[in-house]
């Protein structure tokens, strides 16, 4: 199959009917769970998510595709910068559209005529996981990820809207999460809700990527050493024991970058290092904000010199989080030097 040759390990077809979980999406918005992602709540966006035909009136079928990325490393040290595993290599926003275009060309060759189409990968106003479930690719887990019983959840979704009648696949109606609550129990910020949605304002991925300003103080120590995204709820999911090595375009291992070294990179160095990767989206100010928080969470007094130096950076966002990290480390160092009587040891 052409889709498989292009790296799409799963493919399914569904109709352009309104998604069944749209009411859940509306409740989520009404509760403010989307945080600062205001683009999700515009009238135009909501109309399109409620009915794919608002995007493309000629749409007769939707082809849903899944591309795997490698599972995260498990041997990371606390002083190493942790990046979500989908972001280790090339930006999927650049890679997958090229493949979808080639797949559309193949479809047109098979039918002998041009086919009107639109494609998206995490960029369009559609409810991707809802369509993927309806196309038979998997079920929406308690952690809100789409899960396949053989491939787990480490894959990226793409959709092609087609002006072509294709036979739809049977929807995936079985819920294999059962009574398992590992993802809920493991989430450091308690962002996973009981209705299979998440409170984005508490999610580490949101805090380190989507949020552009200060990270709430009460959540900073829960971020650990994640500097871009988070994989925790997927790492503990039993279904990901079946996950295999992903598409080589997206990398196969988390670069073991030292947090102290990351904090000193210039704007030019940041742009050069992360050009063509998802991390570029955070921009230097957001990325180094995250690194400063991660350094504070190490409790390592050896990080103090680079944090002190960051206080002179021209970026106010970095300076504020560096100051928090310094205070956090000082508190940790002080606590670890208390003797049994509660008195602070003299340090040499």
Q: Give the pLDDT mean for 171-180.
A: 96
SS (H, E, C) the chain: CHHHHCCCCEEEEECCCCCCCHHHHHHHHHCCCCCCCHHHHCHHHHHHHHCHHHCCCCCCEEEEEEEECCCCCCCCCCCECEECHHHCCCCHHHHHHHHHHHHHHHHHHHHCCCCCEEEECCCCCCCHHHHHHHCCCCEECCCCCEEECCCECCEEEEEEEECCCCCCCCCCCCCCCCCCCHHHHHCCCCCECCCCCECHHHCHHHHHHHCCCCCCHHHHCCCCCEEECCCHHHHCCHHHHHCCCCCHHHCCCCCCCEHHHHCCCCHHHHHHHHCCCHHHHHHHHHHHHHHHHHHHHHCCHHHHHHHHHHCCCCCHHHHHHHHHHHHHHHHHHHHHCECCCCCECCCC
Other Cβ atoms within 10 Å of 13 Cβ, number: 18
Residue 347 has pLDDT above 70, yes or no: no
Instruction: Tell me, yes or no, if 300 is annotated catalytic.
Output: no
pLDDT of residue 7: 95
Q: Please say if the pLDDT value at position 341 is more than 70.
A: no
Would you place residue 344 in the very low, low, confident or very high pLDDT band (cuts 50, 70, 90)? very low
Classify strands 82-83 and 226-228 as parallel, antiparallel or unpaired. Answer: parallel
Query: Cα dist. 285→125, 205, 281, 312 in Å?
Result: 28, 16, 11, 14
- pLDDT value of position 257: 86
pLDDT at residue 342, as a whole number: 34
pLDDT mean over 34-62: 97
Residue count of the chain, please give it: 348
**Which residues, at least 6 apart from 39, have a Cβ–Cβ distance to it below 8 Å?**
45
Phi-psi sector, 59: left (phi>0), alpha (psi -120 to 50), beta: beta
Q: How far is CA 15 from CA 61, 159, 160, 176, 218, in A?
A: 5, 12, 11, 24, 44
> Cα–Cα distance between 247 and 43 in angstroms, integer?
36
Find, among 81, 87, 82, 96, the residue nearest to 69 by Cα.
87
Give ∠ CA 191-194-196 in degrees, rounded to 5: 80
Task: Please tell me the predicted confidence (pLDDT) of residue 337.
Answer: 54
Average pLDDT, integer, range 127-154: 97
Average of per-residue pLDDT across 126-138: 97
Q: Among 255, 285, 294, 290, which Cα is nearest to 267's?
A: 285
Please say whether the dihedral angle defined by the alpha carbons of residues 33, 39, 44 and 49, taken in this order, is positive or negative.
Answer: negative
> pTM for this one?
0.92
pLDDT higher than threshold 90 for residue 29:
yes
297-337 tens-digit pLDDT: 999 999 999 999 999 999 999 999 999 999 999 998 776 65
- Tens of pLDDT along 45-56? 999 999 999 999
In this prediction, residue 340 carries a pLDDT of 36
Residue 78's pLDDT is: 84
Check pLDDT > 90 for residue 64: yes
Q: Which pLDDT score, from 0 to 100, does residue 343 have?
A: 39
Options 122, 169, 221, 313, the catalytic residue: 122
pLDDT at 70: 93
Per the prediction, the chain carries an average pLDDT of 93
Judged against a pLDDT cut of 50, whether residue 250 lies above it is answered with: yes
Beta bridge partners of 192: 198
Give Cα 205 distance to the centre of its chain. 6
pLDDT-derived band at 293, boundaries 50, 70, 90: very high
For residue 335, the model assigns a pLDDT of 67
Cα(294)–Cα(297) distance, integer angstroms: 5
pLDDT tens for 264-275 read 999 999 999 999
């Amino acid at each position: 199959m052409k889709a498989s040759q292009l790296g799409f390990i799963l493919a399914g077809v569904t109709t352009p009917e309104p998604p069944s979980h749209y009411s859940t999406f509306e409740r989520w918005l009404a509760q403010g769970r989307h945080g600062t992602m205001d683009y999700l709540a515009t009238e135009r966006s909501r109309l399109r998510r409620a009915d794919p035909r608002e995007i493309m009136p000629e749409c007769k079928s939707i082809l849903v595709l899944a591309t795997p990325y490698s599972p995260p490393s498990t041997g990371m040290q606390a002083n190493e910068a942790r990046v979500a595993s989908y972001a280790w290599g090339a930006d999927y926003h650049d890679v997958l559209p090229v493949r979808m275009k080639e797949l559309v060309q193949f479809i047109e060759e098979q039918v002998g005529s041009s086919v009107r189409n639109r494609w998206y990968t995490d960029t369009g106003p559609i409810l991707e996981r809802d369509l993927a479930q309806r196309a038979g690719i998997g079920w929406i887990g308690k952690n809100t990820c789409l899960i396949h019983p053989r491939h787990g959840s480490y894959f990226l979704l793409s959709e092609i809207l087609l002006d072509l009648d294709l036979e739809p696949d049977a929807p995936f109606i079985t819920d294999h999460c059962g009574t398992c609550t590992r993802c809920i129990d493991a989430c450091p910020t308690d962002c996973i809700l009981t209705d299979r949605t998440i409170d984005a304002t508490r999610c580490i991925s949101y805090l380190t990527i989507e949020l552009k300003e200060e990270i709430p103080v009460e959540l900073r120590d829960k971020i650990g050493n994640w500097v871009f995204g988070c994989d925790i709820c997927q790492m503990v999911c039993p279904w990901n024991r079946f996950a295999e090595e992903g598409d080589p375009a997206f990398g196969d291992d988390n670069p073991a970058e030292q947090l102290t070294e990351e904090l000193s990179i210039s704007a030019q160095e940041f742009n050069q290092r992360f050009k063509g990767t998802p991390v570029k989206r955070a921009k230097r100010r957001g990325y180094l904000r995250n690194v400063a928080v991660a350094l504070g969470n190490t409790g390592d007094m050896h990080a103090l010199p680079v944090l002190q130096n960051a206080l002179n950076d021209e970026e106010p966002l970095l300076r504020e989080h560096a100051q928090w990290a310094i205070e956090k480390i000082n508190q940790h160092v002080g606590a670890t030097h208390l003797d049994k009587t509660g008195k602070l040891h003299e340090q040499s």
